[in-house]
């Protein structure tokens, strides 16, 4: 027992010094792992370690993923993976803070229909804005009714009109002005533009099947300027929750836009890129559009000629800007004029590091394809950025579709 304990202590210290932070469920297996490593003189950082050593699979995957994630290659995706069991038990829902409850409401086709989506009020650039998911308006129309409660709890209805919309395949959000008479029944949230850290916990509030729910324990899996991915630990999200706010300390950090089931993720092309070395299961996760995209929609509405956007960077070089009505469709790698790889947009795509999963050669050309507008847009376009790595020359082309 003393030897085991000593190995565990030395192992934890060694792993922490090398930047590895293994999950709790892997720590009990560290003595076995270290013993094998010392005998065979292998390094945890080697991705093929799993083929060489017959170790506890969960412990090895956890340690190796932690090491790789700290080296940068899979930094953004390691939290998406999980063991075969949940680390969290469902929690009972708690009453929401009063100010949060006054900021969140439902949208529906008319006062007689049942609520079809969630929405919330937020103060941005000194104006109160209503926010929902763009696809909610696709379902119930561009002039739905917001339903709020008066002091007695009776529903009161006000018709709203969409003012600005993002791209449903990227920034799946829409904003509208809240009628002046409706403002007496709401308290707008304040935005927080700082992204949450992976493995941290935040909150959320919205309507699911017409019932209001307060989620006090939402686990963040990944966060970038493009997308936040999270797990709702209290209970599964049901229909109607899209358009609700993700919150941190009472401030809104994003807009819930949908669920990505584990089964779908396992079949996706981007997952195949990760599963060549590892067979670890992946989480079901939820899509959240960062609140900064809402701020950009507001900016475009207040200043029509605004050119603000999110930088698209490849190997540290800015190729162009991504706007709210655009989305990344694919990244293509050409070598000597021959297409050798195509990577389609994936949920955790980091726009500041578009080179992920590509082995770049000095003579390659990289093509980033964007789609502007979507299924309900009358002005659809394809935008292509071609970057010759050798000459660092960038060409931008547009064509209508």
User: Lowest-pLDDT range, 81-85, 228-232, 336-340, 362-366?
Assistant: 81-85
The number of residues making up the chain comes to 401
Which of 28, 48, 71 is the C-terminal boundary of a domain? 71
Give strand pairing partners of 157.
147
Dist CA 160 CA 141 (whole Å):
10
**What average pLDDT does this structure show over 282-300?**
92
> What pLDDT is attached to residue 75?
55
pLDDT at 205 over 50: yes
pLDDT of residue 31: 52
Is the model more confident about 118 or about 18?
118
pLDDT confidence of residue 73: 44
Contacts of 323 (CB under 8 A, 6+ apart): 296, 308, 309, 372
Instruction: Tell me, yes or no, whether 280 and 136 share the same domain.
Output: yes
pLDDT at 350: 85
CA distance 230 to 50: 28
DSSP class of residue 79 equals G
Query: Do residues 221 and 92 both lie within one domain?
Result: yes
Are residues 294 and 198 part of one domain?
Answer: yes
pLDDT higher than threshold 80 for residue 24? no
Same domain, 248 and 99: yes
The DSSP string of 143-193 is S-EEEEE-TTS-EEEEE--EEEE--TTSS--EEEEPPGGGGGG--PBPB--
- Say yes or no: 368 and 341 in one domain: yes
Query: If you average pLDDT over residues 323-346, what whole number do you get?
Result: 93
Tokens 């358009």 appear where? 243
Measured between alpha carbons, how far is 106 from 207 in angstroms, rounded to an integer?
Answer: 7
- 261: pLDDT strictly greater than 90: no
Mean pLDDT for the stretch of residues 132-149: 94
- pLDDT classification of 80: cutoffs 50, 70, 90: confident
Three-state DSSP class for 381? strand
Residue 90 has pLDDT above 60, yes or no: no
Residue 76 covered by a domain: no
Judge if 304 and 314 occupy the same domain.
Answer: no
% of the chain beyond a pLDDT of 90: 47
In this structure, the dihedral spanned by the alpha carbons of residues 173, 177, 182 and 188, taken in order and rounded to 10 degrees, is 60
**Domain assignment of residue 119, yes or no:** yes
Closest CA to 30 of 49, 43, 11: 11
Let me know if residue 22 belongs to a domain.
yes
Asked which of 308, 327, 352 is the last residue of a domain, the reply is: 308
152 pLDDT above the threshold of 50 = yes
CA 347/CA 354 separation, integer angstroms: 13
Q: Would you give the end-to-end CA distance of the chain in angstroms?
A: 69
- Rounded to whole angstroms, the Cα distance separating 145 from 213 reads 20
Cα within 13 Å of Cα(139), Cβ side: 18
Do 252 and 274 reside in the same domain of the chain?
yes
Q: Is the pLDDT of residue 83 over 70?
A: no
Q: What is the pLDDT of residue 43?
A: 43
Q: Are residues 340 and 273 in the same domain?
A: no
pLDDT score of 37 more than 50: no
Q: Please tell me the distance from the alpha carbon of residue 92 to that of residue 78, in angstroms, as a whole number.
A: 28
Q: What is the pLDDT of residue 236?
A: 64
Distance of CA 127 to CAs 98, 157, 304, 306, Å?
Answer: 21, 21, 16, 18
Residue 338: pLDDT over 70: yes
Give the pLDDT confidence of 43-78 residue by residue, as tens digits: 444 444 444 444 444 444 444 444 444 444 455 666
Calpha distance 353→313 (Å, rounded): 6
What is the per-residue pLDDT across 159-195, written as a single tens digit (0 to 9) for each?
Answer: 999 999 999 999 999 999 999 999 999 999 999 999 9
User: Closest by alpha carbon to 239, among 118, 149, 143, 141?
Assistant: 118
Question: Which pLDDT score, from 0 to 100, does residue 68 have?
Answer: 40
**Residue 400 pLDDT > 70:** yes
* Rounded Cα gap, residues 319 and 399, in angstroms: 18
In a domain, 78, yes or no: no
Whole-number pLDDT of residue 104: 96
Give the per-residue pLDDT at 353.
85
Query: What average pLDDT does range 361-379 have in this prediction?
Result: 88
For residues 357 and 135, the model is more confident at 135
Whole-angstrom Cα distance, residue 293 to residue 172? Answer: 9
Of 308, 329, 344, which residue is a domain's last?
308
Give how many domains the chain has, as a whole number.
3
103 vs 20, more confident: 103
80 in any annotated domain: no
Q: What is the mean pLDDT of residues 197-203?
A: 91
Q: Please indicate, yes or no, whether residues 233 and 313 belong to a single structural domain of this protein.
A: no
Shared domain for 280 and 359, answered yes or no, is no
Least confident of 87-96, 120-129, 140-149, 269-278: 87-96
What is the average pLDDT score of the chain? 80
The answer to whether position 9 is within a domain reads yes
Could you tell me which residues are beta bridge partners of residue 222? 229
Min mean pLDDT across 81-95, 202-216, 323-337, 348-362 is at 81-95
Q: Do residue 50 and residue 91 come from a single domain?
A: no
**Distance, CA of 158 to CA of 190 (rounded, Å):** 22
Domain assignment of residue 139, yes or no: yes
Task: Measure the CA–CA gap between 44 and 60, rounded to whole angstroms.
Answer: 9
Asked if 191 and 316 sit in the same domain, the reply is: no
Taking the C-alpha atoms of residue 236 and residue 230, their distance in angstroms, rounded to an integer, is: 12
| Residue 377 vs residue 341, higher pLDDT | 341
Which residue range is the domain that position 214 belongs to?
86-308
Residue 201: CATH number of its domain = 2.40.10.120
| 297 located within any domain | yes
């Amino acid at each position: 027992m003393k030897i085991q304990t000593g190995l565990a202590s030395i192992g934890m210290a060694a792993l922490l010094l090398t930047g590895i932070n293994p999950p709790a469920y892997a720590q009990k297996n560290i003595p076995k792992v270290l013993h094998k490593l010392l005998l065979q003189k292998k390094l945890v950082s080697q991705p093929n370690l799993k083929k060489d050593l017959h170790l506890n699979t969960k412990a090895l995957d956890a340690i190796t993923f932690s090491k790789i994630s700290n080296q940068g290659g899979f930094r953004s995706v390691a939290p998406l993976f999980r063991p075969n069991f949940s680390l969290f038990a469902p929690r009972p829902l708690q009453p929401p803070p009063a100010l949060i409850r006054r900021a969140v409401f439902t949208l529906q086709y008319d006062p007689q229909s049942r609520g079809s989506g969630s929405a919330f009020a937020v103060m941005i650039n000194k104006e109160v804005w209503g926010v929902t998911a763009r696809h909610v308006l696709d379902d119930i129309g561009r002039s739905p009714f917001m339903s709020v409660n008066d002091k007695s709890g009776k529903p009161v209805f006000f018709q709203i009109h969409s003012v600005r919309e993002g791209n449903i395949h990227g920034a799946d959000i829409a904003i509208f002005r809240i009628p002046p008479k409706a403002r007496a029944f709401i308290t707008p949230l304040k935005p927080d533009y700082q992204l949450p850290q992976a493995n941290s916990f935040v909150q959320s509030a919205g309507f699911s099947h017409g019932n209001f729910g307060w989620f006090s324990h939402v686990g963040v899996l990944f966060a970038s300027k493009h997308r936040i991915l999270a797990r709702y630990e209290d209970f599964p999200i049901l229909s109607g929750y899209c358009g609700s706010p993700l919150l941190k300390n009472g401030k809104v950090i994003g807009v819930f836009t949908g669920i990505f089931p584990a089964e779908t993720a396992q079949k996706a092309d981007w997952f195949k890129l990760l599963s060549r070395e590892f067979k670890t299961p992946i989480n079901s996760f939820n899509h959240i559009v960062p609140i900064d995209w809402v701020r950009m929609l507001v900016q475009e509405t207040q200043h029509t000629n605004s050119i603000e956007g999110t930088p698209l960077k490849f190997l540290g070089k800015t190729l162009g800007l991504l706007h709210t009505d655009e989305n990344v469709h694919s990244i293509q790698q050409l070598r000597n004029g021959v297409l050798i790889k195509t990577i389609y947009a994936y949920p955790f795509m980091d726009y500041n590091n578009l080179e992920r999963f590509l082995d770049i050669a000095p003579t390659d050309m990289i093509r980033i394809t964007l789609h502007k507008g979507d299924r309900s847009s009358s002005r659809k376009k394809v935008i292509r950025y071609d970057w010759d790595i050798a000459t660092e020359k960038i060409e931008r082309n547009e064509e209508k579709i």
